[in-house]
Amino acid sequence: MEYIVQKFGGTSVGTAERIEKVGQIISAWSKQYKVIVTVSAISSYTKSEGTTSKLILAKELAEKHGPYIKVIDEIEELHINTVKELLKDTQILSAATAKIAEIIKKLKSFLSAVEIIHETTPRIEDVIVSTGEKLSAVILSAALNAGGTDAEYIDLSAIVEDNLYKDTGKEYYDYVKRQIAERISRASGVPVLTGFFGYVPEGILKAVGRGYTDLTASLTAAAVSAKELQIWKEVDGIFSADPRKVLNARVLPSVTPAEAAELTYYGSEVIHPFTMEQATGNNIPIRIKNTFNPDGEGTLVDPRPQEVHSHKATAVTAKTGIFVLNINSNRMQKAHGFMHKIFKIFDEHRISIDLISTSEVNVSMTIDKKYNVSKVAKELEEFGTVNIFKDVAIISLIGEGMRNAVGMSHKFFEALAERNINIEMISQGASEINISCVINENHVPEALNEIHRRVLE
């Protein structure tokens, strides 16, 4: 039997009822494949309400000698109540509640240490934040066993020893994959893996971000040469546009890895970039499916060669919450080292640039508003006049079929002109599968609808 790796998001396991539904999905697939599961921390509806956000809050409170115990007690109560509602078998229930209590006890000891030293090392932060995935994996494995599907909770948090590697390069990930494969080979029933896989140089939040459970799933899929990696979310797949903003947006049956990467970067939050690298880099397809519509086909991110429909775009997307930073100077812009000096400042502040446009006397770039842009602007003033434009968004038209397509840019910009939407900045990637521009954030809904109507329908 071939392997299938399934990753379930936090809202997919947000309640006892949803966990039971996930258990049914896993059980159905396990009749045809060897299923391996990874699961995110329990989340109700939004990230801010989820277990991971509460764990980060508890860490911050501990650093300030605040009431972190209250937050942890709330987390424990939520998970205990969930298993009590979910499990009827007293033996399985007793084992699950005991494991939850053990995990919470360990968490409190780490937070107590944070409270004493008033700071958190990357390693301790990883242990604290990864508690959410441990708790959800315990509950899901218990639910599977209670439902008649043999499953085993597998804690991956110790598979990489501290300081074994100095960076997260190929050697590091190859080691992680070997360790995961070894743990899976010893598992009894369906392995339910924790999303966190041990020591990560610089800390997992800094090195990978909050999508590290997706990365664990992709590393697992690569480790066992899985037939498919399934990312189970709360949507039917990848859409041609945001269905909350564009009424006629449709589910795309398949996209290429390049298209998925562009869509993710420019606002669609499709798949974590590191996930794509590990899975499609090993020729493993990724399928996006809906936990609440398990019979739907979803969207396949297919790394295998496929026919590309020329002169067609795939999707339009919007990335909001950005600034445009403009540097205007009367100095000779082509002077040696000018651009290097500008980028060096961004590098020192660890700031990523989305789009950039240059002319003889002007450099414009877009930056996510999460960064301290005012501090950077101050340092850039030595090169000329610096202006910051807020409340803007990046609109991107994406598609492999756009390569060498004549008139695609015309259709894109004509749609915006039809709605009298002013363009602040234009960029086209060297890959030729992305045309992007910057507009006022207030015009995003009408821009998406008009571009979708003219180009994608």
From the list 457, 418, 416, 456, the residue with the least C-alpha distance to 439 is 416
CA dihedral of residues 133, 136, 138, 143 (deg, nearest 10): -150
For CATH 3.30.2130.10, the residue range(s) in the chain are: 315-456
Q: The domain 315-456 belongs to what CATH superfamily? A: VC0802-like (3.30.2130.10)
Which pLDDT does position 383 carry in this prediction?
82
Pair of tokens at residue 399: 């598609």
Q: The domain 3-234 belongs to what CATH superfamily? A: Acetylglutamate kinase-like (3.40.1160.10)
Cα dist from 116 to 64, 69, 422, whole Å: 10, 14, 54
SS3 per residue for the chain? CCEEEEEECCHHHCCHHHHHHHHHHHHHHCCCCEEEEEECCCCCCCHHHCHHHHHHHHHHHHHCCCCHHHHHHHHHHHHHHHHHHHCCCHHHHHHHHHHHHHHHHHHHHHHHHHHHHCCCCHHHHHHHHCHHHHHHHHHHHHHHHHCCCCEEEECCCCCCCCCCCCCCCHHHHHHHHHHHHHHHHCCCCEEEECCCCCCCCCCHHHHCCCCHHHHHHHHHHHHCCCCEEEEEECCCCCECCCCCCCCCCCECCEECHHHHHHHHHHHHCCCCHHHHHHHHCCCCCEEEEECCCCCCCCEEECCCCCCCCCCCCCEEEEEEEEEEEEEECCCCCCCCCHHHHHHHHHHHCCCCCCCEEECCCEEEEEEECCCCHHHHHHHHHHHCEEEEEEEEEEEEEECHHHCCCCCHHHHHHHHHHHCCCCCCEEEECCCCCEEEEEEEHHHHHHHHHHHHHHHHC
Which pLDDT does position 431 carry in this prediction?
60
Which pLDDT does position 157 carry in this prediction?
86
Alpha-carbon gap, residue 276 to 258, rounded angstroms: 9
Region of 261 (left: φ > 0; alpha: ψ -120 to 50; beta: rest) is: alpha
Q: For residue 122, how many C-alpha atoms fall within 13 Å in the half-sphere facing its CB?
A: 14
Which pLDDT does position 72 carry in this prediction?
96
Mean pLDDT per 10-residue section of the chain, whose length is 457 residues: 94 94 97 96 73 93 94 96 95 96 95 88 85 96 96 90 75 90 93 86 73 89 96 92 92 90 77 79 92 94 70 88 85 64 88 84 86 86 88 92 78 92 81 87 95 92
Provide the whole-model pTM.
0.89
Buried b (16+ CB within 10 A) or exposed e, 163-199: eebeebeeebbeebbebbeebbeebeebbbbbbbbbb
Alpha-carbon gap, residue 174 to 332, rounded angstroms: 48
Alpha-carbon gap, residue 266 to 399, rounded angstroms: 13
For CATH 3.40.1160.10, the residue range(s) in the chain are: 3-234
